[in-house]
């Protein structure tokens, strides 16, 4: 059997794709594996730097967020607390809630009956009296004393004031009439007097929290 001995040039032949055969091993010019390790280390350093920057941003933003959160003093000023234990049937209290007037009235049985007798279909802003009072205190009506037309203060909360054609409140600015449930019945006001969030605990009425 004939044998062939490879020459040194044949050991270092160039294959068709441009790779060089050196001592029987094809060298295609690809960087050694250590190069890949270098890339991974560089990526890790970049990720770590971005993460550190993100944490630094959070540290800087946190004080700003804390300042934006209302303090206990601000929250206290945003509520109004009244003692309604001495409020008798048919009496009203005028108070201030967030720099605006608020009316609190202990409705009479006649006022409740009058409000309940009204058909919802007759109302511009349909609401029952029950929807405007608390279940446990159906005779306690709390409304903002601001006409929903142009923001005037209606009459009717104080003794002897004009209560309008429906026995509730009357706005003298442009003639809006509200009934005993403070619902708009006549005039330009588009909606009922606003009922703010409030809660009753014993004799304490807190306006501004449910």
**Radius of gyration of the chain measured on its C-alpha atoms:** 40
Distance CA(175)–CA(187), nearest Å, equals 5
Query: 11, 36, 137, 174: which one is catalytic?
Result: 174
* CA angle in degrees (0–180, nearest 5) for 15-21-27: 100
> What is the rounded CA–CA span in Å between residue 116 and residue 119?
8
Structure tokens at 117: 């007798």
d(CA 9, CA 160): 121
| 8 Å CB contact between 139 and 105 | no
Q: Which two tokens stand for residue 122?
A: 């007759």
CB 102 within 8 A of CB 80: yes
Collapse the DSSP code of 201 into the 3-class scheme (helix H, G, I; strand E, B; otherwise coil) and give the result: strand
Is 137 a catalytic site residue? no
Q: Which residues are catalytic?
A: 174
């Amino acid at each position: 059997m004939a044998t062939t001995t490879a020459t040194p040039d044949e050991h270092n032949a160039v294959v068709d794709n441009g790779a060089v055969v050196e001592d029987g091993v094809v060298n295609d010019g690809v960087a050694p594996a250590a190069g890949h390790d270098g890339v991974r280390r560089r990526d890790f350093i970049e990720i770590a730097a971005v993460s550190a920057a993100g944490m630094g941003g959070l540290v800087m933003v946190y004080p700003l967020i804390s300042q934006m959160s209302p303090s206990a003093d601000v929250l206290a000023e945003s509520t109004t607390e009244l003692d309604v234990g001495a409020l008798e049937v048919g009496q009203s209290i005028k108070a201030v809630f967030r720099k605006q007037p608020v009316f609190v009235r202990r409705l009479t049985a006649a006022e409740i009956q009058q409000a309940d007798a009204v058909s919802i279909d007759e109302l511009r802003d349909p609401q029952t009296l029950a929807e405007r009072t608390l279940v446990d205190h159906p005779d306690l009506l709390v409304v903002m004393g601001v006409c929903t037309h142009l923001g005037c203060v209606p009459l009717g909360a104080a003794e002897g004031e004009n209560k309008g054609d429906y026995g509730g409140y009357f706005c003298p600015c442009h003639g809006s009439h509200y009934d005993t449930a403070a619902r708009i019945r006549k005039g330009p006001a588009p909606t009922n007097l606003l009922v703010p969030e409030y809660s009753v605990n014993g004799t304490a009425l807190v306006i501004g929290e449910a």
